[in-house]
Structure 1
Amino acid sequence: MIKNRRKLFSIQWTCASLAGLVFLAGCASTPSATHQSTGWIKDEVADSYVFGYPLVLMSTARDAAVGTDPGQAPLNTLRHAQALPPIGAANPPQPSLDTLDSTGWLDLGSEPVILSLPDSHGRYVDARVLDMWTNVVWSTGPQFVAGTASAKGIHAQTIAFVTPGWQGELPKGAKRIEVPTLNAWVSVRIQSNGARDLAAVRKLQRAIRLAPLSFYDGDERAASVAPPRGNVNGAMGANGTQQQQVAALDASGFFGRLADALPDNPPTPADPHALKFLSDLGVTPGDPAKLPKSPNALAAGLADGRDRVATPPPNLLSANGWSWFGDGVGNYGPDYALRAYAASTQPGIGTKDDEVRAVVTQDSDGNTLNGANRYVIHFAANQVPPVRGFWSITAYTKDGALGESAPARLAVGDRNGVHRNRDGSLDVVVSSTRSRTGNWLPAPRADMQLVLRLYAPKPQATDGRWQPPPVVRR
């Protein structure tokens, strides 16, 4: 945790209170005498857990990923995945076989950080930066060529990430992006077309630059990208899944980490009601949490909060057993339920214009998917995933790991030449045993899940006009 620059962000908190937004009223006080039972503790713990979950998750991921140990990288440098994830890979859950990822953590406390991206020469690239509440503050978004409806890569560009109100001179041509939190997470994903294509992807990775402003125009070595450290593809951390680590925290651990992270990372939007709940519970930014001495109520509230984070919100899109995020993803506003659920299930997810991930665990009869069976997904000609980039389907174990079935590292999609039927439709056959018909997707010989990814999806993918077809057992 970076503690020596909290003064910068504390000014924002003070201004919010002066504007009439009560900031943690009675920070040092005990709960009001009007509370006649411990029921309020359970309710406010649950509400505060859902509210604070993304920040605790992100701070946990940052602490695991930042450093000089193998599998880590310093702040303001990128760590490149150099190979596709191996068999059995499960960190992050549902690792992608479509892209190689370059990821890093920004520290904006001392000065702006500059990201330069090269011209990708038509290759699909998706870059995004998330604040510590998992809101997308910047992304490359849909990438178009005039007169076409397809994503055709990105042009060279420079982006400067700064704290709100920062004054100073930026590199010529740099686009200024204000980030409301002191830390942020950056991800650059480059399309890969299989093992033979990796050299071209690595060349693009080497052309990416990430550096603090003072180094950007100075010492080229200091500004260079960190060397490769392992094969983690897009992970937000290194020591197990961050979701598991956060779920294992007791009330003291969870709210202590939340209190520690708040001074540098004020909530966006400001929410005096949520902050008042934290104050009631004895959670003051920057101070040790002083929770009520009601262990049963604390435990019950924490359990309720965990359940609520894991419960699909009503505004999640669903059809034919699949579920996916719609228009609200990536910029959540006060929709804390959607924000927490998205952080828990698809950490690092972008906006509706960046990517859609639809997940299914049951067939059309409601039975759990299992690779020992044979399934067919039939896409009618007008039902093929609507994308400006490309799409793919990958099979994972029920825990989100790549299965042991050979060839395990195979995704089916238009990137690798799916075969269409004469009427323009296409069939994907899912099974652990090879199929001689359709487009075969190898699956683990166990309970499993399927993930359909749409890169640069068209609007109908997230506004309810399109839905993926059912998974039918044959």
Structure 2
Amino acid sequence: MYRSCSALACLALIAGCASAPEGAAPKSNGWMKDEVSDSYVFGYPLVLMDVSREAATGNGPGQAATNTLRHAQSLPPVGASSPPEPNLDALASSGWLDVSREPVLVTLPDTHGRYMDARALDMWTNVVWSTGAAQTGERVGGMKTQTIAFVPVGWKGALPARVKSVEVTTRYVWFLARIQTRGGGDLAAVRRLQHGLQVTPLSAWDDRAAHGKGGARGARGDEPGGATQSGDPAAPGTPAAQVATLDANGFFDRLAQALEDNPPTPDDPHALKILGDIGVRAGDPAQLPSGAKDAAVVKAGLADGRARIATPPPNLLAGNGWLWVGDDAGNYGPDYALRAYAAYTSPGLPTSRDEVRARVRQDSDGHQLNGANRYTIHFTAKQLPPVRGFWSITAYTSDGALDADAPVRVAFGERSGARRNRDGSLDVHVSAQRPRGGANWVPAPHGDFRLVMRLYAPKPQATDGSWQPPAVERQ
């Protein structure tokens, strides 16, 4: 219901904006601001992904070649801020696949009961495949060896036996995998599993590659550029900040070039017409209206679009101050507002079967969370996060970094010694200073901060609105 309402609103807006008949010059440019704004929201995920791909691929520091995975070798240090909200629960592997010439095969290892998830996103941030979609059990306990082939649309040919085929409509695919870790001495076991993650173009596939003994490509920690300090590998720097610096010509020119290799889904023909109205066509340099009056309107439309992607859309799930994306995560259809917001706040967001990522910035009284105070989150026995995997809560600074002054960096959760009360309830303590006894503690920055609750392999009630996280109560 949420998607259909949002989609209808979006399409109604676009239809209203495109009132000028084709082939006839509009008498005023009042339509232009809305069309630029709508087009910015529509194209933002593709531009962000294209900038991220360009920054992450190559032979420079922190980069890896296309069709190669780059593995995180350690949890992020105190003060880490790239990517925003770095993950403390898992080591991640990430790479950009190019399927323009042939299928690219990714092999996942047997994790021997250790939690692992993986997903692949097209260039519009839609999740085209994930381990969560294949999990049907009540509880997730690792995975077995498997190989997935990402196949260009329309490709005809034969794949190796027992390989799952996934058709992709964009040239590039962003692949991410995460393996759960407790840190410390446990990291070595995760690194060994990472070596079983392999990427192989079909032309290089052979029996040795199928058994993980060669032919596959992966950057290891002992190879140049193979290691990263992030739990979620991302392009060096901040791609979102790079996109934010683009003026209208820079943004739409980048969008036009990326559209040539990465067309949108068939749901989007009307949005492409709107792009054409403002002079943006796939493969051609953007030709935005350039008159002095028109340029001012284009600039205003760009500013409006930037504000919209940072504004929570009305179809987010909400409860007790927490916000999160529901069942539409990773599969947005024509809901451009939700897709852009998800890309802006959570690059690489999984589907609702893979992970729920809920955020809160205010306490139960509506005041900004701040490390000068102490807070408690009280879960009743029936309100504990509904997961098939596990869950955690992490505190970040207001800009999404780990506190540089924190004595420890911890994601508190189900697998980190949570102690329940006698009635089965759970009290989580959030503060800058360790509470008496030190149990169930989420270390918080000394200044303003936000909390992120991650539910790995969530149950349906976490994404259909029937479950809500409890409020953050100031003590």
TM (norm. structure 1) is 0.91
2:117 to 121, 126, 132: 126
What displacement does 1:41 show?
A: 1.3
1:412 aligns with 2:412: yes
1:253 to 235, 242, 250: 250
Matches within 5 A, 1:264-275: 264-275=261-272
Q: Distance in 1 between matches of 2:204 and 2:150?
A: 14
- Tell me which residue corresponds to 1:198: 187
Tell me how large the CA RMSD over aligned residues is.
Answer: 1.6
Q: Distance in 1 between matches of 2:404 and 2:440?
A: 19
Amino acid at match of 2:233: A
Q: Distance in 1 between matches of 2:69 and 2:393?
A: 28
Amino acid at match of 2:239: Q
- Tell me which residue corresponds to 1:229: 227
- Tell me which residue corresponds to 1:56: 47
Residues 143, 151 of structure 1: 8 Å contact kept: no
Q: Distance in 2 between matches of 1:92 and 1:269?
A: 32
- Tell me which residue corresponds to 2:332: 332
Residues 70, 229 of structure 1: 8 Å contact kept: no
Residues 103, 202 of structure 2: 8 Å contact kept: yes
Residues 386, 458 of structure 2: 8 Å contact kept: yes
What displacement does 1:404 show?
A: 2.4
Residues 55, 235 of structure 2: 8 Å contact kept: yes
SS in 2 for 1:416: coil
What displacement does 1:446 show?
A: 0.6
SS in 1 for 2:385: coil
What displacement does 1:230 show?
A: 2.6
- Tell me which residue corresponds to 2:314: 314
What displacement does 1:94 show?
A: 0.4
- Tell me which residue corresponds to 1:428: 428
Query: What residue ranges of structure 1 are gaps of 5+ in the alignment?
Result: 1-29
Q: Distance in 1 between matches of 2:52 and 2:396?
A: 23
Q: Distance in 2 between matches of 1:32 and 1:376?
A: 62
What displacement does 1:221 show?
A: 5.1
Q: Distance in 2 between matches of 1:281 and 1:73?
A: 36
Aligned length: 442
Q: Distance in 1 between matches of 2:356 and 2:454?
A: 6
- Tell me which residue corresponds to 2:4: none
What displacement does 1:469 show?
A: 0.4
Q: Distance in 2 between matches of 1:270 and 1:324?
A: 25
More off after superposition, 301-310 vs 408-417 = 408-417
Query: What residue ranges of structure 2 are gaps of 5+ in the alignment?
Result: 1-20, 221-225
What displacement does 1:223 show?
A: 2.1
- Tell me which residue corresponds to 2:204: 215
What displacement does 1:39 show?
A: 1.2
What displacement does 1:414 show?
A: 0.5
Residues 390, 456 of structure 2: 8 Å contact kept: yes
- Tell me which residue corresponds to 1:371: 371
SS in 1 for 2:186: helix
- Tell me which residue corresponds to 1:107: 98
1:41 aligns with 2:32: yes
Matches within 5 A, 1:72-471: 72-141=63-132, 149-217=138-206, 222-227=215-220, 228-239=226-237, 241-293=238-290, 294-437=294-437, 438-471=439-472
TM (norm. structure 2) is 0.91
SS in 1 for 2:314: coil
SS in 1 for 2:219: coil
Q: Distance in 2 between matches of 1:462 and 1:198?
A: 31
Residues 379, 427 of structure 1: 8 Å contact kept: yes
SS in 2 for 1:160: strand
Going from structure 1 to structure 2, the CA distance change for 1:203 and 1:295 (only over 3 Å counts) comes to same
What displacement does 1:216 show?
A: 2.2
SS in 2 for 1:100: strand
